[in-house]
Chains A and B, each alone.
Chain A
C-alpha cells in the first residue's frame, strides 16, 4: 500500500519536474527569440502553449486522485499540495512566455529601440535563470535557496521599472517609437509577473520543507 503510494508520488514529482523544465526552457527561448527577432521560434512557442496547459490539467487530476485515495498527511500531504499549487503558477509562467512571443511577432517590422531591447534582454535572462533556479531548489528541497529569490525579485522589479521609464521616454521623444515601445512596456510587465510567480513557487518550496507559509514578495502586485 505504502509502496504504491511512494511510486505514485515519485511519478507525480517527476511529471511536475518535467513540466517545470519544459516551461523554464520555453521562457528562455521566448526571451532569446525576442532578442533575435526570431518570428518562427516565437510562433512555435505560441503553438506549444496548449501542451503546457494539458500537463497542468493532468497533474492536477492526479493530485486530486491521490488525496482522495490515500488521504495523505504531514510531509506527503505537503508534497502534493506544493505540486498542486506550484503547477498552476508554472502554467501561468508558460502563458507569459507565450505573451512575450506574441509581442515578438508584433514588434518585428516596427522601428526598434536597441537600448531598451538590451535592457529587456538582460532582465529576461535574469528572470529565465530565476525560473530554472527555483526548480533546482524544488528538486534539492532547498528552502534557504528558495528564500533568496525574494532579493532577486526585488532587483527584477527595479529593472522592469527602468524598462517602463525608458519606454515612456522613447515614446515622448518620437511618435515613431510608440508601437515598439508599447510592446516593450508589456514585455517588461510579463517579466515582472514571471519573477513574482517564481517567488510564489519559492514560497511553496519553503512550505514543503518546513510546513510554514511565508510571504517572499510583499506589496508588489502592480503589473509593472
Chain B
C-alpha cells in the first residue's frame, strides 16, 4: 500500500531498466558481464549485463532476431564456431568465455536443451548413459541409478520405466523433449539452458515440460528462451526482454507482466507489435 503523498506522477519512462540482483541476499549462479556477440562484422548482441540467481528460472523473451537465443547460446559457448563473443561470463569465479576453459567439461556444468527434441537413435536408456560413459562412468548400478533419477526428475519415468530398451524415436514429441532434458540432467549440471523447449509441443506436453521445469528448479538454475509469453509468466521468476540485439528490461517476472518500466516492454508483452 502506498500513501497518496508518496506517489510520483511522471510521464517519463526509461529506455532501459536492468535489475541488479543483490548478491548479499541472493546467490548468483551465472553472470554475464559486457557480453557482446558478432557474426562477422555484424553485431548481433549489444553489451549485455545480466545476473542469474541460483535455483530460479529466468525467461529470455523478445521477437525473433532480438538476440535472446544468441545470448543463451553464448552462455555455454555454442557460438564459438559461428561468431565472436566478447566480455566475461562468470561461473564459480571462472570466466567461462576465456580461451583456456575446457568447453567440454564446462558443458557438464552448464547443459543445453534445444527447441526440437534431438534424441539419439538409440534406446531410451542409452540416450541417458551415452554421455555418462563418455565421461568415464562405467559402474552399472551407478548408470542405472542415474537413468532412473534423471527420468524421474524430468517427469518421464512413470511413462517409460517398462520400455527403457525401446528406441527413443518411438516416443512422442513431448516425451522426447523430456528425455532430452533427462539426458542433460543425468550429467548433474548446475545450470540448464533451454532454447524454446516447448515450442514444438502440444499444450498437454507443453504443460508437462512446465511442471518439469518447476520441479527442476529445486536443484538447478534454469535459463529459458521462450516465445510463449504466458509460459514465461507462469514458470519464471525473472524475465529479460530483448529487442533488436539489446536487453531493454530485466526484472522480476511479476513486475514485467504487471507494471514494466520501459514502454517497449509494455508494447511487447501487451502484444502490440505495430
Contact = CB atoms under 8 A, between A and B. Distances in A.
B270 interface: yes
Interface string B1-36: 111100101000000000000000000000000000
Given A2-B271, A150-B4, A215-B3, A74 B9 contact: no
Contact of B9 (A2, A75, A210, A215): A210
A210 B259 CA distance: 8
A214 interface: yes
Interface residues on A, range: 20 to 34
B272 interface: yes
Contact of B269 (A74, A210, A211, A214): A74
A209 B274 contact: no
B134 interface: no
Main secondary structure of the interface of A (DSSP, over half): helix
A150 B2 CA distance: 14
Nearest to B265: A74
Contacts of A144: 9
Contacts of A209: 9
A25 to B, nearest CB: 28
Contact of B257 (A73, A143, A206, A212): A73
A2 B274 contact: yes
A1 interface: yes
A73 B273 contact: no
Interface residues of B, number: 20
A210 B270 contact: no
Given A73-B257, A213-B1, A206 B270 contact: no
B4 A216 contact: yes
B260 interface: yes
A74 B7 contact: no
A5 interface: yes
Given A74-B266, A144-B9, A211 B259 contact: yes
B270 A214 contact: no
Contacts of B1: 213-215
Contact of A147 (B7, B269, B272): B7
Residue of A72, A150, A210 with highest tally of chain B CB at under 10 A = A210
B233 interface: yes
B3 A74 contact: no
Given A74-B258, A209-B9, A2 B2 contact: no
B258 A73 contact: yes
A67 to B, nearest CB: 13
Contacts of B4: 147, 150, 206, 214-216
Residue of B233, B260, B271 with highest tally of chain A CB at under 10 A = B271
B230 interface: yes
Given A147-B7, A150-B4, A214-B7, A5 B271 contact: yes
Nearest to B1: A215
Interface string B236-271: 000000000000000000000111100000100111
A71 B4 CA distance: 30
Nearest to A73: B257
Nearest to A74: B266
B271 to A, nearest CB: 5
B3 A75 contact: no
Contact of B2 (A72, A74, A77, A214): A214
A73 B233 contact: yes
Contacts of B274: 2
B9 A76 contact: no
A164 B51 CA distance: 61
B9 to A, nearest CB: 5
A213 B3 CA distance: 9
Interface in A22-54: none
11 contacts: A2-B273, A72-B270, A73-B269, A73-B270, A74-B257, A74-B260, A74-B269, A74-B270, A75-B270, A78-B258, A78-B259
Interface of B: 1-4, 7, 9, 229-230, 233, 257-260, 266, 269-274
Given A210-B7, A211-B259, A216-B4, 14 more contacts: A2-B272, A71-B230, A73-B233, A73-B257, A74-B260, A74-B270, A78-B259, A143-B7, A144-B9, A147-B7, A213-B1, A214-B7, A215-B1, A215-B4
| Chain A to chain B: the 9 pairs with minimum beta-carbon distance, closest first | A211-B259, A73-B257, A212-B2, A147-B4, A214-B2, A143-B9, A144-B9, A76-B270, A73-B269
Interface of A: 1-2, 5, 71-78, 143-144, 147, 150, 206, 209-216
